[in-house]
């Protein structure tokens, strides 16, 4: 397959920077657009260091139609990987309009500019958070949707918009149909094995692994474990953790699928990207000690509002249609997270 130029929106962020590494190492020229609202351009300098290859960076907001159109007119973009957006669940409940504006409106502007530039190939960062409460704790792509916070609803709305765009192609018999992969991530953790790029959260982390890392390194005193009275094997919440490098490899597999016969007449399909097995909070703490030798001080506190007891992926469709499955184990995820934390105790600062 000819390696064409890929525009990575949000490429300076946690997952986007890992995607840039994988793309460059696989021979794709990379163009990044990021407004640096939740990242630093240093991550992109590190991407170039890891790969020994340059990328083009534009500091711009995806909602800035003029700047975005200029990028599309200058660069020979064929596929867009769309990571740009806001992602904190709690913040989305406090600032719903900001989330809908960034995520939903931002994607609409991007899709409009893509259509004008005749670029119709899109890999979108969706989330397992689009799923609703279900009888089964293992989620398949056809499990019922029902997000319960503005962040999750913004992802579900974007999925609807992209499905509608693709459906319209059939009605208007589009010559150049949309080819769209909606990738529903489970819980990405870990970092590139070099320890040069990783997750650099602002302030006190919301998510489990960054919190564990900051307790282990002594920046935070104690991990709050949100509830030990769930109907799970040890009472704590169970999630499907996935190494960020496995996750971004799934995006490259998605590009290959979009370029293949499978999508010859266009389409918009959702795929779960997860390992297909879950670990509890206490199992993560235990594994962390085994892998790093560090004991994580923790305290059981009441449940966090909005948390499910258990959630993990059925990843069979991604295996069947994208030829993708996770390769890394929990110990790799922990070792790589810890390596990043130790080498960058202050993140990119
Ligand atoms: P991140 O915050 O590290 O990266 C997002 C990047 O987008 C940042 O660099 C930010 O500066 C940029 N950005 C935000 N709004 C922008 C805008 N309007 N214009 C241009 N740039 C903008 O987050 P991440 O963890 O790398 O997540 C990437 C994507 O994956 C997001 O869409 C997120 O919702 C989705 N996702 C993440 C997780 C997770 O647990 N990390 C899980 C499921 C889905
Ligand atoms: N947890 C704690 N203490 C903490 C943080 C988390 O006990 O300080 C627990 C949670 O209760 C949950 C598990 O650890 O049982 C994982 O929590 P995270 O916050 O790391 O992840 P979530 O599953 O809640 O959500 C994450 C992202 C969402 C995304 C979802 C699925 O925050 O944006 O994964 O991809 F949608």
Q: What is the mean pLDDT of each run of 10 residues along the chain (349 residues)?
A: 91 98 98 98 98 98 98 98 96 96 98 98 98 89 94 98 97 95 98 98 94 96 97 97 98 98 97 98 98 97 92 98 98 98 95
**Pocket probe mutation, ligand 2, options 129, 224, 330, 337, max atoms within 8 Å of Cβ:** 129
Task: Give distance in angstroms: CA of 237 to centre of ligand 2.
Answer: 9
Statement to judge: residues 133 and 245 lie in one domain: yes
Look at ligand 2, atom 15, and give the residue with the nearest C-alpha: 237
Statement to judge: residues 104 and 59 lie in one domain: yes
Q: Which atom of ligand 1 is nearest to the CA of 126?
A: 44
Statement to judge: residues 249 and 295 lie in one domain: no
Statement to judge: residues 130 and 249 lie in one domain: yes
Within-domain flag for 291: yes
Within-domain flag for 202: no
Within-domain flag for 335: yes
Residue with tokens 């502007």: 109
**Structure confidence at residue 134 (pLDDT):** 80
Of 50, 62, 60, 63, the closest CA to residue 23 belongs to: 50
Q: Which atom of ligand 2 is nearest to the CA of 185?
A: 35
Domain count for the chain: 2
Of 286, 291, 256, 292, the closest CA to residue 271 belongs to: 256
Task: Give distance in angstroms: CA of 242 to centre of ligand 2.
Answer: 13
Ligand 1 contact via 16 beta carbon (within 6 Å) = yes
Of 27, 102, 96, the closest CA to residue 62 belongs to: 102
Within-domain flag for 281: yes
Task: Give distance in angstroms: CA of 284 to centre of ligand 2.
Answer: 12
Residue with tokens 């021979």: 27
Residue with tokens 């960020």: 244
Token couple for 75: 């660069």
* 105: annotated active-site residue: no
Ligand 1 contact via 13 beta carbon (within 6 Å) = yes
Ligand 2 surroundings by CB, under 6 angstroms:
87, 89, 127-129, 185-187, 206-208, 211, 223-226, 237, 239, 281, 304, 307
Task: Give distance in angstroms: CA of 4 to centre of ligand 1.
Answer: 23
- CATH number of residue 112's parent domain: 3.40.50.720
Task: Give distance in angstroms: CA of 207 to centre of ligand 2.
Answer: 5
Distance of CA 5 to the CA centre of its chain: 20
Within-domain flag for 197: no
d(CA 193, CA 273): 20
Statement to judge: residues 87 and 176 lie in one domain: yes
Statement to judge: residues 285 and 258 lie in one domain: no
Within-domain flag for 200: no
- CATH number of residue 309's parent domain: 3.90.25.10
**Structure confidence at residue 1 (pLDDT):** 65
Within-domain flag for 153: yes
Within-domain flag for 348: no
d(CA 35, CA 10): 8
Q: Which atom of ligand 2 is nearest to the CA of 303?
A: 11
Pairing of strands 77-82, 121-127: parallel
Statement to judge: residues 72 and 148 lie in one domain: yes
Strand order in the sheet with 30-34: 56-59, 30-34, 5-9, 77-82, 121-127, 179-185, 267-273
Statement to judge: residues 178 and 231 lie in one domain: no
Residue range(s) defining the domain that contains residue 222: 208-238+277-319+326-343
Statement to judge: residues 174 and 218 lie in one domain: no
Ligand 1 contact via 34 beta carbon (within 6 Å) = yes
**Structure confidence at residue 306 (pLDDT):** 86
- What angle in degrees, to the nearest 10, is found between the helix axes of 150-172 and 106-116? 20
d(CA 305, CA 300): 15
Which among 14, 28, 151, 185 is annotated as catalytic?
Answer: 151
Statement to judge: residues 40 and 159 lie in one domain: yes
Residue 136 Cα distances to 26, 127, 187, 312, 314, angstroms: 37, 18, 18, 10, 11
Let me know: does 164 contact 107? Beta carbons within 8 Å.
no
Task: Give distance in angstroms: CA of 88 to centre of ligand 1.
Answer: 9
Let me know: does 53 contact 93? Beta carbons within 8 Å.
no
Statement to judge: residues 55 and 151 lie in one domain: yes
Ligand 1 contact via 14 beta carbon (within 6 Å) = yes
Cβ neighbours for 254, distance < 8 A, ≥ 6 positions apart: 123, 181, 183, 271, 322, 324
Pairing of strands 238-239, 310-313: parallel
Which numbered ligand comes closest to the C-alpha of 198? 1
Residue with tokens 């993708």: 324
Ligand 1 contact via 107 beta carbon (within 6 Å) = no
Statement to judge: residues 266 and 285 lie in one domain: no
What pTM was computed for the model?
0.98
Q: Which atom of ligand 1 is nearest to the CA of 82?
A: 32
């Amino acid at each position: 397959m000819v390696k064409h130029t890929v525009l990575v929106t949000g490429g300076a962020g946690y997952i986007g920077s890992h995607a840039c590494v994988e793309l460059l190492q696989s021979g794709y020229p990379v163009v990044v657009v990021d407004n640096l609202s939740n990242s630093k351009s240093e991550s992109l300098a590190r991407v170039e260091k890891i790969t020994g290859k340059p990328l083009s960076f534009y500091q711009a907001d995806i909602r800035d139609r003029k700047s975005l159109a200029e990028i599309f007119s200058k660069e020979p973009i064929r596929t867009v990987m769309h990571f740009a957006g806001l992602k904190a669940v709690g913040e989305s409940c406090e600032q719903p309009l900001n989330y809908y504006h960034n995520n939903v409106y931002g994607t609409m502007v991007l899709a409009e500019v893509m259509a004008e530039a005749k670029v119709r190939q899109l890999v979108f960062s969706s989330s397992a958070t689009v799923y609703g409460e279900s009888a089964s704790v293992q989620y398949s792509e056809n499990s019922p949707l029902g997000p319960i916070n503005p962040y999750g609803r913004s992802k579900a709305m974007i999925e609807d918009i992209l499905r509608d765009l693709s459906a319209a192609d059939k009605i208007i018999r589009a010559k150049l149909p949309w080819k769209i992969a909606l990738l529903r991530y489970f819980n990405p953790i870990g970092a590139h094995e070099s320890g040069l790029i990783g997750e650099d959260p602002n302030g006190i982390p919301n998510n489990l692994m960054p919190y564990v890392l900051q307790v282990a390194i002594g920046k935070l005193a104690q991990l709050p474990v949100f509830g030990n009275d769930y109907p799970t094997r040890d009472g704590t919440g169970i999630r499907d953790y996935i190494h960020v490098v496995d996750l971004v490899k799934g995006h490259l597999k998605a590009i290959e699928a979009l370029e293949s016969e499978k999508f010859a007449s266009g389409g918009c399909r959702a795929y779960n990207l997860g390992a297909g097995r879950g670990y509890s909070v206490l199992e993560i703490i235990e594994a962390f000690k085994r892998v790093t030798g560090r004991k994580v001080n923790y305290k059981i506190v009441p449940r966090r509002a909005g948390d499910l007891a258990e959630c993990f992926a059925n990843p069979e469709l991604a295996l069947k249609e994208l030829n993708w499955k996770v390769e890394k184990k929990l110990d790799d995820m922990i070792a790589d997270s810890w390596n990043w934390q130790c080498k960058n105790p202050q993140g990119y600062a």
